[in-house]
Structure 1
Amino acid sequence: MFGGGGMNPRKMKQMMKQMGIDVDEIDAEEVIIRTADEELYFSDAQVTKMDAQGQETYQIVGEPQSRERGAGAGAAAEAEETAGSEAEVRDAAGGVDIPDSDVKIVAQRTGASESEAREALEAEDGDLAAAVSRLE
């Protein structure tokens, strides 16, 4: 942003504070960016919020995965576009498709079994953060 190069991070933070720029780390569980055609989702991203004179800016650092738009929001999803297309399972009521990767993420974050994680995801319509909260 400012081209700090090799500047000491502490000095950079001091300078930003003097300029009225407030920087906070956000403990995000998941970040989703929706475009007209796809969703980019970050399941383990580092998110920084900068507030400069009332203008908020968010910075996301991490590796996104791509899926068709609506695949994570409960729409009838087609196969994921990620590199090793993962198996998806439709719940008994014919509702949300839950990718195996989402089940594994929730299970790892909470220490729950994969079947408990899948049940929580189904109950929360595929919402990772809500499923994690439900199990914690």
Structure 2
Amino acid sequence: MQQMMKQMGIDVDELDAEEVVITKSDGEQLVFDNPDITVMDARGQETYQVVGEPETRDGAGGATAVESSEDAGNAGGIPDEDVEIVAQRTGVTEDDARDALEATDGDLAAAVERLE
């Protein structure tokens, strides 16, 4: 799998991080403690995938609730950037690329392999 990704010009690495904070436009923060982070470099375009359960904090930084990733606005959805990458690499429509990504739980390499 890694060799195939390398041939397509895609490098995938793990990133060691203690915390990831996403600040939404309304000031609310999603804080991921000890997340699993994958960095994919596709010919100079880096994509970061953060996996974990976020804690929701209000703009003041105080914890308000723990939400699942579905509640946090992800709704089990696949990022548009990932869909575009898979569609470009395989030459399929974005709908087909999204279906493959959903079937592989967002795994870019597996989605590309599934479509080739």
TM, length-normalised to structure 2: 0.52
Partner in structure 2 of residue 81 of structure 1: 64
Matched, 1:41 2:31: yes
Partner in structure 2 of residue 27 of structure 1: 16
Matched, 1:51 2:12: no
What SS does the corresponding residue of 2:5 show, helix, strand or coil?
A: helix
Bigger share in helix? 2
Deviation at 1:81, TM superposition (A): 1.5
> How far, CA to CA, are the matches of 1:80 and 1:25 in structure 2?
28
What SS does the corresponding residue of 1:16 show, helix, strand or coil?
A: helix
Partner in structure 2 of residue 114 of structure 1: none
> How far, CA to CA, are the matches of 1:70 and 1:18 in structure 2?
46
Matched, 1:15 2:4: yes
Runs of 4+ in 1 over 4 A off after TM superposition: none
TM, length-normalised to structure 1: 0.45
Tell me if structure 1 keeps the 8 A contact 2:12–2:39. Answer: yes
CA RMSD of aligned residues (A): 1.3
Percent of aligned pairs sharing the same letter: 58
> How far, CA to CA, are the matches of 1:44 and 1:27 in structure 2?
8
Q: What are structure 1's unaligned runs of at least 5 residues?
A: 1-11, 72-78, 84-136
Residue identity matched to 2:18 = E
Structure whose alpha-carbon radius of gyration is higher: 1
Bigger share in strand? 2
